[in-house]
Amino acid sequence: MKKFFSHVEKIEFILGSIGLLTAIVLTFCQVVNRYWLHFEIMWIADFALYIFIFTIYIAIPYGAALKTHIAVDILPDHFCGDDRAKRAIFDIVKSSVTILMVLSISSPVMRVAKRAYRYPEYATLVRWFNMSWLIYAMAVMIVLVILHYGWHVACDVYELKQLRWISVNEGEAK
Amino acid sequence: ASAKAPEYKWRFGQTSVRASQGESYKLFCELIEKYSDGRIQVEFFPDNQLGTLDEIFHAVQDGEVEICGVAPYVNLVPGGMFNWMPWTVESWEECKMAFSRPNGCLYVPMEEAMNEVGMHVLFTVSQGSYGIGNNTRPIKTPEDFKNLKLRVSSSLGCVRGLQNMASGTGMTVETVPWGELYNALSRGVVDGCWSMWPSLVEERHYEVLKYYTSLDWMWDANQVVINKDIWDGLSDDLKAAIEKAALEAEEHQYAIQERMADEFQDFLKKQANFEIYYPTDEERTAFREKANMLSVWEELCTPWLDKHYPGQNMTQKILDELAANREKVLAGKK
Amino acid sequence: MLDLGTVTTLIAFLVGIVLGFPIGWLFIGSTALGLFVMGSPTVFMANAFFHSLDSSTIMAIAFFVFSGALISEAGLADRIVNFSYSLVGRLRGGLTGVGIVATLFLSALTGSSVPCIAALIPLLVPRLEKFGYRRVYTTALLCSSSYLGYLIPPSVPAMIYCLLAGQSVAALFLATVFPGILLAIGYGMLNYFMVGRYTFESTEKPLLPTTFEESVKDILHTGKIAIPALGCPVLILVGIYGGIFTPNEAGGIAAVYCLLIGWFVYRELTNAKLKKALSSTIGTFGMTTLLLAGGTILTRYLTRQGVAQEVANFMLNMFENKYLILLMLNFFLLILGMFLDGIPILILVVPLALPLMQELGINLVHLGAIMVVNVGIGVMTPPFAMSIFVGSRLAEVPAAELTKTMLPFLFLVSIPVLLLTTYIPALSCWLPEILLGSSIVGPW
Ligand code: NA
Ligand code: NA
């Protein structure tokens, strides 16, 4: 399991990097082309944006994997202090509620994905590009985010068990 | 209106911030309530309050918002390409003829294209004609496009038409998002762009453009649409009530836009650093012929039309009817 | 006044914040709860999520985040610190003043505040400690200055404001320049008076030029080395204001420029460093985009419920006076800034405040400057203060002590600059009007 998630994270990182760098290079090319080369590549700005939107839907789960989310930790810090068990319990609650919050948008996302399937939309300049793919990417994002938070919960539960085992054994030693 | 609670409570989302369109949309909502005897109540949300154009359009597809006024860009309405073809309509009269219901030569395929994406067309609104502005020289003949760098949108039909008109002149095109256009013009990122009377004044393009040719080479048309499943589920009397409201709102809108086009031109003529050129019929013909629109139709519209109207040679049929409309209008003028 | 659904949403949101739930998802979850209570359809949430991210401005923001991450990895920050050192190191309080000057330079390289702290703390804090400056003071100075990254163009909050308010990015970039410079000068003066309290005897003395000639030589030498690093802001500004590219494209150009400098000029950008920069960039913009999308969902919901109109009417009935309303707006934003990051604040407040501000006839570029300065101050106001989080961790000083040391900067300089920005429109509107023309800025 651990291996699986580190692989997922790695793949997200690689795809995210490729997407970001490609979007940067395309934007750069668009400017350079305007002044030097004069190829007719009107589609380049749109295409860069599509690539970038995929990248966003990779970056959001990657952020979830790294726990880079923004939150106000004052109260949790106050209650948990340095107590690792309390902290693990709080993190379990937090991740579980987050999963619920992600789930709250999952059914609208699935509905929109269904609509995107029923009415495919093609980019105006990149005409082979089915824009519904971007919406499917949003659906994949939801799944990945839930997986990551589920994994955070599993890790915290494991830690909690370990802590309990330690405290029980220490108790026996006394 | 009756005091009973309405059977249907709908939302109308405006996808632009043009107050002049909003007036008629609001009237439309009121008329629906009036003619349906209060059975349908429509709340009007102006100024993109419900979201961006694409967002509201999708909301109508989802049935979450019922009605919206929409520019049928081809990313949203794949069959809507002919709405963005230059030289289809060149006057208000022709616009009204082409989009009249139920038989207008552009309305018929537009309804089909909208049906395909889950919409039904209620009526058409137009902000009138497009011309071409730039900061280098007045454009009187196709040769005047020489070496200009013009901003275009991603509406391929317009781009192809423009490129054909300027072929061999060294003109280049550049896509700049609409929101950045003013800045791009004032900073000289591009030399010019296509524009229209409301944009020249309300988006203040006249401040950053020196020459404007009132070429009437494109004619704006947007549609007010309703979710098709909702429409199909309505009883005939309610449909009739909505259609009656649509007809009145459409007339109201045409009248406003025609009046405003005149007012905008009066305003622009008073501006010191802004020059309008009105080409003669012969000069316009030179642009129209060079645009070679048949080839553009064949590239961009025919595949879709052939798929939906197999064996009917719709492209030619539409173009013939548009030409007939034009002659009728010209004959009426003389 | 408010219906049950809206009240549920707002309460759930506040409770969630206090409990420390991730804010991006909290926006979404609390909206869903409000909709659920009222039995309303939720499908618009997915549309708002998708379309709020379908924008080239967001792409440009990610590019600026990336170039911000590159400035320390690619060796640009070192050169700028050395240059700043030779510029002001000799003045009284100058060694800590280096922090302000270097932040000013780095601000022109990045659109955000965190990269400035992240780059400068490791470079300056240990070095100055050797010369007898207390860690906590140097860190406080850097953390307080960090939101210059928002005020000196490019600026991510400015881009977000313009996206929401439909204003010219080029104009707003210029509108915060004078408030930024004012802030730097104010900090410089405060530093002059305060620095004495935070020094201790140290055996090591800094090697500084003693004569004027040596000093000039030093400036020229470090300046020459810093030229490629300083070239980036010049390129960005000339590009945008010279009409070569749009503010959105500038992000891509800046990123490519930093990459090239790091690879070929300073030759410090190794694969490992690039990986680090990429990883932090992707993580950061994953978080930022989530905040954007979630915030859009909540504001869309509140707009649909008519909350904006209610707030506007309430404020208009309550105060009537334009200056009082602006004061209230600032107060409200500062309070929000204690609990939220700048981006979600803008997403929440701009659509709700815009109708009211238009009714009051407040210039929207000016309003943008007020908002950017205000959310900038948010990075230094506890309990939720990005600069304190990052600064105390990197400098290894206790957050409480750091916060206390930052208070004079907040109350004696930042707040006064905010008030000046609010009540002197010329401070923000004059520069863009001179450079871009009065029609882009509008009447003020
Ligand atoms: Na900056
Ligand atoms: Na804060």
Task: Give the 3-state DSSP-derived string for chain B, with helices as H, strands as E and coil as C.
Answer: CCCCCCCEEEEEEECCCCHHHHHHHHHHHHHHHHHCCCCEEEEEECCCCCCCHHHHHHHHHCCCCCEEEECCCCCCCHHHHHHHCCCCCCCHHHHHHHCCCCCCCCHHHHHHHHHHCCEEEEEEECCCEEEEEECCCCCCCHHHHCCCEEEECCCHHHHHHHHHHCCCCCCEEEECCHHHHHHHHHHCCCCEEEEEHHHHHHCCHHHCCCEEEEEEEEECCEEEEEEHHHHHCCCHHHHHHHHHHHHHHHHHHHHHHHHHHHHHHHHHHCCCCCEEECCCHHHHHHHHHHHCHHHHHHHHCHHHHHHHCCCCCHHHHHHHHHHHHHHHHHHHHC
Residue of B111, B133, B106 whose CA lies nearest to B121: B111
How confident is the model over B61-79, as a mean pLDDT?
A: 91
Mark whether C78 and C130 lie in a shared domain: yes
Residue of B18, B2, B13 whose CA lies nearest to B49: B13
- What residues of chain C lie within 8 A of the CB of A15, using their CB? none
Asked if pLDDT for residue A40 goes beyond 80, the answer is no
Asked if pLDDT for residue C9 goes beyond 80, the answer is yes
Tens digits of residue pLDDT in B262-284: 999 999 999 989 999 999 999 99
Confidence band of B1 (pLDDT split at 50, 70, 90): very low
Mark whether C281 and C168 lie in a shared domain: yes
What's the total number of domains in chain C? 2
- The per-residue pLDDT for A55 is 96
Which ligand neighbours the alpha carbon of C247 most closely? 1
Could you tell me the CA-to-CA distances from B30 to B56, B67, B311 in Å, in that order? 21, 14, 43
Residue of B183, B135, B210, B206 whose CA lies nearest to C441: B183
- What residues of chain C lie within 8 A of the CB of B200, using their CB? none
Asked if pLDDT for residue C188 goes beyond 50, the answer is yes
- The per-residue pLDDT for A172 is 59
**Are the CB atoms for C27 and A71 separated by under 8 Å?**
no
User: Could you give the angle at which helices C307-319 and C342-359 cross, rounded to 10 degrees?
Assistant: 60
| Residue C365 in domain | yes
Minimum-distance CB partner of A94 among C20, C29, C47:
C20
Confidence band of C307 (pLDDT split at 50, 70, 90): confident
Ligand 2 centroid–CA C301 distance in Å is 25
Mark whether C125 and C169 lie in a shared domain: yes
Supply the mean pLDDT for chain B.
92
**Distance from chain centroid for Cα C125:** 21
How confident is the model over A40-46, as a mean pLDDT?
A: 79
| Residue C7 in domain | yes
Q: Establish if C50 touches chain A: CB-CB under 8 angstroms.
A: yes
Calpha distance B120→B194 (Å, rounded): 30
> Measured between CA atoms, how close is A20 to chain C, in angstroms?
8
| DSSP, residue by residue, A3-54 | HHHHHHHHHHHHHHHHHHHHHHHHHHHHHHIIIII----TTHHHHHHHHHHH
Percent of chain B past pLDDT 70, that is, above it, reads: 99
- What residues of chain A lie within 8 A of the CB of C278, using their CB? 13, 16-17, 20-21
Q: Is B277 exposed, middle or buried (0-12, 13-18, 19+ CB in 10 A)?
A: middle
Mark whether C120 and C19 lie in a shared domain: no
Q: Long-range contacts: A160-169, Cβ < 8 Å, 24+?
A: A160/A85, A160/A88, A160/A89, A160/A92, A163/A84, A163/A85, A163/A88, A164/A85
- Domain residues for the domain of C293 are 56-441
- What residues of chain B lie within 8 A of the CB of C303, using their CB? 49
Q: Is A93 exposed, middle or buried (0-12, 13-18, 19+ CB in 10 A)?
A: middle
Asked if pLDDT for residue A83 goes beyond 70, the answer is yes
Tokens 């050192």 correspond to C85
Residue of C119, C127, C142, C120 whose CA lies nearest to C72: C119
Calpha distance A73→A110 (Å, rounded): 32
Confidence band of B222 (pLDDT split at 50, 70, 90): very high
Asked if pLDDT for residue B2 goes beyond 60, the answer is no
Q: Given an 8 Å threshold on Cβ–Cβ distance, is C44 in contact with B207?
A: no
Supply the mean pLDDT for chain A.
88
**Are the CB atoms for B82 and B301 separated by under 8 Å?**
yes
Q: Given an 8 Å threshold on Cβ–Cβ distance, is C46 in contact with A52?
A: no
- The per-residue pLDDT for C1 is 62
Tens digits of residue pLDDT in C62-78: 998 898 889 888 888 88
**Are the CB atoms for B261 and B128 separated by under 8 Å?**
yes
| Residue C51 in domain | no
Confidence band of B3 (pLDDT split at 50, 70, 90): low
| Residue C418 in domain | yes
Mark whether C232 and C362 lie in a shared domain: yes
- The per-residue pLDDT for A77 is 78
Which residue would you say has higher pLDDT here, B48 or C287?
C287
- The per-residue pLDDT for A171 is 62
Mark whether C250 and C178 lie in a shared domain: yes
Tens digits of residue pLDDT in C317-374: 787 788 888 999 999 999 989 888 888 889 888 988 888 888 888 999 999 999 999 9
The tokens for C314 are 């309430």
Q: Given an 8 Å threshold on Cβ–Cβ distance, is C41 in contact with B64?
A: yes
Calpha distance C246→B174 (Å, rounded): 12
| Residue C283 in domain | yes
| Residue C49 in domain | no
Most C CBs within 10 Å, among B14, B18, B58, to test the C interface:
B58
Ligand 1 centroid–CA C111 distance in Å is 4
Determine the straight-line distance between the first and last CA of chain B, rounded to whole angstroms. 47
How confident is the model over C103-110, as a mean pLDDT?
A: 89
Q: Given an 8 Å threshold on Cβ–Cβ distance, is A62 in contact with C49?
A: no
Q: Given an 8 Å threshold on Cβ–Cβ distance, is C440 in contact with B182?
A: yes
The tokens for B45 are 């949300």
Asked if pLDDT for residue A59 goes beyond 90, the answer is yes
User: Which amino acid is residue B41, in one-letter code?
Assistant: Q
Q: Given an 8 Å threshold on Cβ–Cβ distance, is B154 in contact with A125?
A: yes
What b/e string do you get for C320-349 counting C-beta neighbours within 10 Å, with b at 16 or more? eeeeebbeebbebbbebbebbbbbbbbbbb
Give the range among A159-173, B301-315, C184-198, C355-369 with minimum mean pLDDT: A159-173
Asked if pLDDT for residue B238 goes beyond 70, the answer is yes
The tokens for C399 are 């957050």
Mark whether C155 and C273 lie in a shared domain: yes
Give the range among A3-17, A157-171, B109-123 with minimum mean pLDDT: A157-171
